[in-house]
Amino acid sequence: MAFAEIVRAASAAAPDLTLSNEPGSLQFTLFADDRGLAYRVDHLDHGAATPVLERSPLGLTRTDTELTDGLTFVSATVATVVEDNYTLTSGKRLKIRARGVERTFTWRNAKGVRLDLTVRAYPDGVAFRYGLPGQSSQLLQISGEATGFKFPAGGRVWAQPYSKVDVWAPGYEADYVNGVPVGTAAPTAEGWALPLLAQVNNLWVLITETALEPSYFGAHLEPRAEGGLYRVRLPEAAETYGVAPQAASITLPWNSPWRVIIVANRAGGIAESTLVTDLARPAEFADTSWIEPGVASWSWWSDMGSPRDYAKLALSVDAAAKFGWRYTLLDLGWPEMVGGDIRQLVAHAKDRGVNLIVWYNSGGKHNQVPEAGPRDLLTDPLGRDAEFARISALGIKGIKVDFMQSDKQYVIALYHDILRDAARHHLVVDFHGCTIPRGWQRTHPNLLSMEAVRGGEQYWDKTFAENAQTFNSIYVFTRNAIGPMDYTPGVFSDVTTPNSQREPHLTTNAHELALLVVFESGLQHVIDAAASLVTLPEYVQDYFRGLPAAWDETRILAGAPGELAVVARRRGDMWYLAGINGEKTAKTIRVPLSFLGGPAAATLITDGATPREFAQRSFTAQPGDQLEINLAARGGFASRLRRK
């Protein structure tokens, strides 16, 4: 059915409770009957409907009224086109044109309270959000959601358990499950974290949320999923140690975050989607000329005492300068620096064309991490503004904020406050020990990255290290698909274990090199020490030079979670092509180069004779070529191709 016919059908029927996207490939259908308010999503192909999500519940619980059942349909708007052209400062694609179709459906409950459900359908997915209209400053509380996502039987799921609350958690750092059956219960009582990826009926489906504002909490999913129904769960009551309530306090009018359902016929389509930022609120400020994505050197992982040592920090700055990287990160303890001070280090870095980013414990009573300072400077608005003014005047260009560790409304508001105040002082931001991206990189363009992943700095954990190649291939299609991911890649030297032993990492060095492109992050922190990086072959060091951290175009050429990921990213006239083997057995892959559009001068770096060695060759690549690459177990490759 043509889009014009869909619109006419929506206008003529009463009530018509459906919305289809413009290609006519996805249909969202609402139900309001004695079983309550619900929806389903179908994939349409030549008139045949395949379930993406079966009948799934909707609704909200306010402490003063119930908005889940007993609802009377009031009205529905006609389908209208929603078009948005916007530019990001960093990401998988910088210039984006988003075009969708929208309808708003309205119900009232027995008390006359109105509930709006706004639905949008895009070529790559559908999304919905709740709205409570009106005008009131009276505080109302939302204490629950009926929202669920019911997958058809027989599919598989890739997801991360939501962590039990402790000193270091939740921080979205648990190990992902790899393709468990739909309906499998979470291994923790706290449930499943977002995003959740499923393969059902030969389709790939990713569930997440976006446009999360200070007026709500971040959601995750209940631990039990009987019959494939994954229900929304509030933040855990124990989060923030009693500082903040579990429920959300709102005033009217109010909108929830968008519940996002991305649908693709290949796993790569999930990773290429920009739906999370398409639905996010536009940028709060227009002048982004001062925001610079980039690669950063980082001394802490290889030497945890280095942030307190001027000479060691200066070496990290020098490494960044050698490779043309934009930043050096000063991690916890930097105010205690000896042998020099922050003013001297800023001057040293400026002379070499390098900017500094400094670490903060988010502090306050919402976290109990007993780390070195600086701490307790970011929760008080006046103190935070004074601190940002101070470091900006020194010439600091960014902040890394650690240990947020809650999705309660109080902490969600703190994220937004930090981002707004940092922007006023021209500081870019990286969050660690934090929640997942929820479209904020569009609303706050100075947000360049977020952790929310078990990354390279945790190779000391033998269980994680043993399976890192698998997790890395899963991340491409899950965590990194929804926004920038500060994984801290690039482990080329040995790892220090908890008993202070040095052991080799299990991924190959070519795998580690590939991660610098396979993973997208507006701040790409390279984890290894300067002394290690400069011992790598000159052609590897040359690959480091000028490495982008923002991309004009991204294509996922091959792969599936737990198996393989091959990613091509373009910056200007240069393509970066990289891939990782997600398995413990060697394999040979063939990568089509049709994306090139013309001949290109290519350099290819692959696995060498041993896991620590590389191999390299240069050649002229043609768009009709297929590049044959032998991947070692846990291996990888990285290539640079410049159009002639």
pLDDT digits (tens, 9 = 90+) for 268-327: 999 999 999 999 999 999 999 999 999 999 999 999 999 999 999 999 999 999 999 999
Range 502-539 burial, b when 16+ CB lie within 10 A, else e: eeebbbbbbbbbbbbbbbbbbbbbbbbbbebbeebeee
Nearest Cα residue to 158 out of 205, 202, 201: 205
Structural domain boundaries, residue 561: 458-485+487-520+551-644
Task: Give the number of domains in the chain.
Answer: 3
pLDDT the model gives residue 266: 98
Average pLDDT over residues 130-156: 97
Which pLDDT belongs to residue 12? 45
More confident residue, 368 or 545: 545
Give the per-residue pLDDT at 499.
75
526 part of a folded domain: no
259 located within any domain:
yes
Spatial separation of the C-alpha atoms in residues 130 and 132, rounded to whole Å: 7
Average pLDDT over the chain reads 95
Q: Which of 54, 209, 292, 402 is catalytic?
A: 402
Residue 61 lies in a domain: yes
Mean pLDDT of 456-472: 96
112-123, pLDDT tens digit by residue? Answer: 999 999 999 999
What does each C-alpha distance from 493 to 105, 498, 526, 543 come to in angstroms? 57, 16, 12, 18
Tokens of 375: 């701490």
- For residues 234 and 311, membership in a common domain is answered with no
**Is 543 inside a domain boundary?**
no
Q: What gap in Å lies between CA 422 and CA 261, rounded to an integer?
A: 32
Whether 217 and 334 map to the same domain: the answer is no
Query: Last residue of some domain: 395, 427, 452?
Result: 452
Quote the strand ranges of 94-237, DSSP E: 95-108, 114-122, 125-145, 148-150, 156-159, 177-181, 196-200, 203-210, 220-221, 229-233
468 and 446 in a common domain: no
Q: What is the pLDDT of residues 174-191, one digit of tens each?
A: 999 999 999 999 999 999
427 and 476 part of one domain? no
Percent of the chain with pLDDT over 70: 98
Give yes or no: 457 in active site: yes
Identify the domain boundary among 430, 452, 474.
452
| pLDDT at 6 > cutoff 50 | no
| 464 and 447 in a common domain | no
Q: Is 520 a catalytic residue?
A: no
Domain co-membership, 55 together with 149: yes
Strands 600-607 and 636-643: antiparallel
Residue 539 within any structural domain of the chain: no
Q: What is the pLDDT of residue 349?
A: 98
Residue 271 in 3-state DSSP? Answer: helix
Does one domain contain both 468 and 586?
yes
Based on the fold, state whether residues 238 and 202 are members of the same structural domain. yes
Q: Which two tokens stand for residue 521?
A: 């992050």
pTM: 0.96
> Which of the four pLDDT bands, split at 50, 70 and 90, describes residue 26?
very high
Chain segment 215-266, per-residue pLDDT in tens: 999 999 999 999 999 999 999 999 999 899 999 999 999 999 999 999 999 9
Task: Tell me what pLDDT residue 501 has.
Answer: 81
**Are 495 and 614 found together in one domain?**
yes
Distance CA 474, CA 495 (A): 23
In a domain? residue 507? yes
For residue range 389-443, what is the model confidence (pLDDT) as tens digits? 999 999 999 999 999 999 999 999 999 999 999 999 999 999 999 999 999 999 9
2 pLDDT exceeds 60?
Answer: no
Q: Among positive and negative, which fits the CA dihedral 620, 622, 625, 627? A: positive
Q: Torsion angle, CA of 264/268/270/272, rounded to 10 degrees?
A: -120
| pLDDT value, residue 500 | 77
Q: Which carries the bigger pLDDT value, residue 380 or residue 47?
A: 380
